[in-house]
Amino acid sequence: MPNYIGFSADQKLRMETAADWAKGCLDAALSVVFEDNDLFRGRLGKYITALGSGQKWGDISSLVMKTICSMKIVIDSDLYKVQLEPQANSPNTNAAMCSWKQDMTAQGRMLGTMQFDGKRMNVLEAQMGFVAKSGASKLSVYPLFFKLPFYALETQCQVQSFLHELSHCAAGTVDYTDGGINPYGMTGVRACMRRGKSAQNAENISMFLATFA
Is pLDDT above 80 for 115?
Answer: no
Nearest to 82 by CA among 157, 138, 12, 21: 138
Residue of 18, 4, 12 whose CA lies nearest to 213: 18
Q: What is the pLDDT of residues 40-50, one digit of tens each?
A: 999 999 999 98
Which domains are present in the chain? 4-210 (3.40.390.10)
CB 48 within 8 A of CB 204: yes
Average pLDDT over residues 13-34: 96
- Note the pLDDT tens digit of each residue in 177-209: 988 999 999 999 999 999 999 998 999 999 999
Distances (CA, A) of 172 to 1, 11, 17, 124, 151: 22, 27, 24, 13, 24
What are the C-alpha distances in Å from 188 to residues 110, 160, 178, 184? 24, 14, 12, 5
CB atoms within 10 A of CB 17: 15
In contact, 99 and 69? CB cutoff 8 Å: no
- For range 106-135, the mean pLDDT: 59
Cα–Cα distance for residue pair 188/201, rounded to 1 Å: 9
Q: Which residue would you say has higher pLDDT here, 24 or 71? A: 24
Give the tens place of pLDDT for each residue, 27-85: 999 999 889 989 999 999 999 998 888 888 888 888 898 889 888 988 988 878 899 99
| Cα(71)–Cα(52) distance, integer angstroms | 26
| Residue pLDDT, tens place only, 149-174 | 999 999 999 999 999 999 887 877 88
Position with higher pLDDT, 97 vs 20: 20
Tallying the residues shown for the chain, one arrives at 213
Closest by Cα among 182, 186, 177 to 206: 186
